Amino acid sequence: MKNKLRQHLEKSTALTDKEWGVLSSRLREQYLQRSSILSSAGRPSEAMHFVVKGSVRSFINRDEGEITWNFYFPDGIATDFQSFLTGEPSPLDFETLEDTLLITLDKQSLPDMYKEAPELIRFENLFARRAFLDMRQRMESFLLQSAEERYLNFLNRHPDIVSSLPGSYIATYLGLTPQSLSRIKRRLFKGK
């Protein structure tokens, strides 16, 4: 299973056998059943979780209900990266949406890992860059796209997964009420 992570990382930059040895010795595999809490709001994010199989949702709990912050599917990294970097408490809860297989790297192992293989810090920079670009793309979608366009883009990016996600999760992720999402779906798929 760890080799899947190595293949994913090597899409961005090559890893020497020494670097992989140092990194893989600090990775742990986790299997979590559906609806398991991966981490809770109010605490700093202390780990990065690479999704091998399954899916994870991050969300914010509000008085009026939960708001989905993000989804993490295979090859995604589930963490509040801002909290991971700063050590500040995260406002997010992370929950598995189905039985999920993860490879986890704990933050506490990073200083020793970087001493053994300083060049591995480039992956933290890659993950930070990826998190920034994902958030920027999401912000742009809210500023430049209609709700219907946001839904269609989400549908195009995750066609095989959308049908298994609760509509309320998708709606809040897109900044919509479940009723608005239902209207959009009816309008788009009328007559199909």
For the chain, the structural domain boundaries read 2-144, 145-192
- Whether 181 and 171 have beta carbons less than 8 Å apart is answered as yes
Tell me the pLDDT tens digit for each residue of 24-41: 999 999 999 999 999 999
Alpha helix ranges (H) inside the chain = 2-9, 17-24, 81-86, 110-116, 121-144, 147-157, 167-173, 178-189
Residue 181, pLDDT above cutoff 60: yes
Tell me the average pLDDT of the chain: 91
> Measuring CA to CA, how many Å separate 144 from each of 136, 147, 148, 150?
12, 10, 12, 9
For the segment 65-84, the average pLDDT, to the nearest whole number, is 92
Distance in angstroms (rounded) separating the CA atoms of residues 101 and 51: 6
Tell me the pLDDT tens digit for each residue of 108-132: 999 999 999 998 888 888 888 888 8
Distance in angstroms (rounded) separating the CA atoms of residues 188 and 75: 30
Phi and psi (nearest 5°) for 106?
A: -80, 140
Topology of domain 2-144 in CATH is: Jelly Rolls (2.60.120)
